[in-house]
Amino acid sequence: MQAIGSILVVMNPSQSEELALKRAKLIAGVTQSRLHLLVCDKRGEHGQYLERVSQELTEDGYEVTSQQAWHESFYETIIKVQQAEGCGLVIKQHFPENPFKRALLTPDDWKLLRYCPSPVLIAKTKRPWTEGTVLVAVDVGNSSSEHKALHANLISSAYEVASIAKATMHIFSAHPSPMLSASDPTFQLRETIEARYREQCVNFVKEFELEDEQMHIKEGPADILIPEMAKQLDAVVTVIGTVARTGISGALIGNTAEVVLDAVETDVLILKPQSVVQHLEKQLEK
């Protein structure tokens, strides 16, 4: 977070309170990042609005640039500008979509999570971050090198968010329920599954120099338990990773990050493994 040179802030001129800008100012105030304000608009009618907001931010000591743009779709516009400006973080306010529309079309926020190479912060609530709780969702049971690197990134980013907001940090991991059909006997008994995951949690706490009380583990589906834990801890930010699954697999199974985004009553910071970031950037270069 500290290394972010610029932050892309997706602006909405029709909103009286810009939650995305509020979060961007908090982060930039610590990181000294440039704020690049973007209005996604085909007609380009918001020049005065951007000029006014930019001037106010400049007077407050922020480095600011701005633009209006449109490329094919809302999420594609954001990603193209993010790439062109080299922004290390995208911040966007969440707006609930019509249920009928959601049933027919993939929400813009989901598309942004899937295709944007940079971390994305979705601002959902007006609650202040200061002295709140930052919840980090990890999968301690996945020991692949890619997931280990993602876990390190998640913890590091959550530490920085907590530092910026003077908040406390908690870690949560869900473990699967017993499966009698599992080929591995350790996944057939509740006691052995829980014991295995608790041992991995102990190692996780040691590896990242956490306190025992910061680590939480429960049995069940992550997309249900993460929102429950966020509510229990009264979290203000939920930090989660995504592998950005798309296509039929993503449509049928559903990405945990997308389900969590809709379910939690917190802001959500989404990060991707480096291999996924590189793949997405290569796709954008074509």
- State which of 40-44, 95-99, 234-238, 280-284 shows the largest mean pLDDT: 234-238
Q: Using N-to-C axis directions, what is the helix angle for 108-115 and 256-263, rounded to 10°?
A: 140
| Per-residue model confidence (pLDDT) at position 172 | 95
Indicate whether 32 and 170 sit together in one domain. no
Residue 216's pLDDT is: 94
Exposed, middle or buried, 235 (CB in 10 Å: 0-12/13-18/19+)? buried
Is the pLDDT score of 125 beyond 90?
yes
89 shares a domain with 139 = no
With respect to residue 126, please indicate whether it lies within any of the assigned structural domains.
no
Residue 67 lies in a domain: yes
Let me know if residue 207 belongs to a domain.
yes
pLDDT in tens, 198-222: 888 999 999 999 999 999 999 888 9
What digits encode the pLDDT tens for the residues 238-271?
Answer: 999 886 555 444 443 347 888 899 899 999 999 9
Taking CA 272 as the corner, what is the angle to CA 242 and CA 10, rounded to the nearest 5 degrees? 95
Do residue 84 and residue 140 come from a single domain? no
Q: What is the CATH number of the domain that holds 268?
A: 3.40.50.12370
Residue 253: is it exposed, middle or buried by C-beta count within 10 angstroms (0-12/13-18/19+)? exposed
Residues 142 and 254 in one domain: yes
Which residue, of 31, 65, 93, is where some domain finishes? 93
24: in domain: yes
For 181-202, the pLDDT digits (tens) are 444 555 455 567 778 888 889 9
What mean pLDDT, rounded, does the chain reach? 85
| Strand 64-69 with 34-40, pairing | parallel
Provide the token pair at 194: 């829980």
Question: What is the arithmetic mean of pLDDT over 72-98?
Answer: 91
Same domain, 228 and 150: yes
User: What's the number of domains the chain is made of?
Assistant: 2
205 and 259 in a single domain? The answer is yes
DSSP 213: G
- Is residue 109 within 8 A of residue 92, CB to CB? The reply is yes
Dist. CA 76–CA 67, nearest whole Å: 15
Contact 68, 46 (CB under 8 A): yes
Distances (CA, A) of 225 to 93, 100, 183, 220: 24, 26, 25, 7
Q: Are residues 89 and 137 in the same domain?
A: no
pLDDT at 93: 94
Residue 121, domain member (yes or no): no
- Which 8-state DSSP code applies to residue 280? H
Q: Does 213 lie in the same domain as 140? A: yes
- Mean pLDDT, range 35-41, rounded to an integer: 95
pLDDT at 105 over 70: no
Domain membership of residue 107 (yes or no) is: no
- On whether both 145 and 23 belong to a single domain, the answer is no
- Last residue in a domain, options 75, 93, 111: 93
Task: Give the CATH number, domain containing residue 50.
Answer: 3.40.50.620
Structural domain span for residue 196: 133-285
The mean pLDDT of 130-137, rounded to a whole number, is 94
What is the Cα 142 distance to its own chain's centre? 20
Final residue belonging to a domain, choices 74, 93, 112? 93
If asked whether residues 51 and 143 sit together in one domain, one would say no
Same domain? For 164 and 254 the reply is: yes
Residue 45 maps to a domain? yes
Domain membership of residue 1 (yes or no) is: no
Element (H, E) at 146: helix 145-165
Pairing of strands 267-271, 120-123: antiparallel
Task: Specify the 3-state DSSP secondary structure of 205.
Answer: helix
Q: What is the pLDDT of residue 99?
A: 61
Check whether residue 46 and residue 184 sit in a common domain. no
